[in-house]
Structure 1
């Protein structure tokens, strides 16, 4: 077989090494760019990069010709597709590597341990890219919850403010601290999400809204605020 000779093994290792480098570089680019956008609180760019994979290629017009309704793919969508293609090519070129994941193989695999390790690392890097949207959305919601908690800790009144006695009717306007908190967190996220397709906006807004409300409730319980 090609891997039996030192020259064949060296060539296979070079190919697998370059495939791994490509997948790892793509993942590093995604995480690095997303981290810079989030650190700068550049939410339109951050959300478009990390959640824009739900975009689809649409062609509105006769015969499927690309027209004004065409939506170009987001960078994450492109990287996902390219990585999937890379994994398929690796699997097609080295099919024997796909049958070496069993705990107790019936016979020793016909590949070197270096090839096996590289193949597993390629699959791991590709899997990280596929899961990137969900992972980074959880990280983003955690950041929003932390920011919300800081805002409530600094601005939400305590104690006597809430002991104003019975009122004839409910207030017609929100409290100033609540309006400011909503604008500082949810308002900015909502504005940033406008760059996303509608299908991608709902999961992002739902996750961030939940984090915001959890931070609010945690603050009320921690400070033992009573409304009466």
Structure 2
């Protein structure tokens, strides 16, 4: 018999991980008669059920994705990219998802304008602190799109991201260490336009509420730890 209740629980927009894990444990006990507190045995049974038991629902959901083969303009391409969702963190939508744009030229860490850039960004965001109150102390998923003007020398995207994320501290979030997942894209506008688009949301991707066996195990097949002291 298909476990429709388990499938419905998995497919919820905001899954109840405790409920799902309890339902898996109940299914394990019902089928095997064994104690679900034996996590290793439960995980092995679960993996086998995914592969060989057609009546056991997969613990995955399909998120619809549409892809543009061709864009009608540069602005449409940038517009679609700036709206990209995060399929890693989307199952943790417990907080608001906020998108905002700043018409400022992205700056790298090496340039003389770095200090002015940080002050300008901070000034632009100072009156929007209440908008980010629910995110201020949370773990965050951030997507940034840097749109560069035509003819400008390209800067390293990681350096631009570091400078920009530093500038958002104390207004959007307390400290950039809260950023658990970062997605950064650099594009040319092929015009004089230059700006930054940011999407920010809370995430629990670094938590273990959605994991059944919570101790990490992996076999490295003989790969040795790289000792940095050998390179000092």
Shorter-chain TM-score tier:
0.3 to 0.5
Higher strand share: 2
Higher helix share: 1
Which structure has the larger Rg over C-alpha atoms?
A: 1
Scaled by the length of structure 2, what TM-score is found?
0.32
Scaled by the length of structure 1, what TM-score is found?
0.33
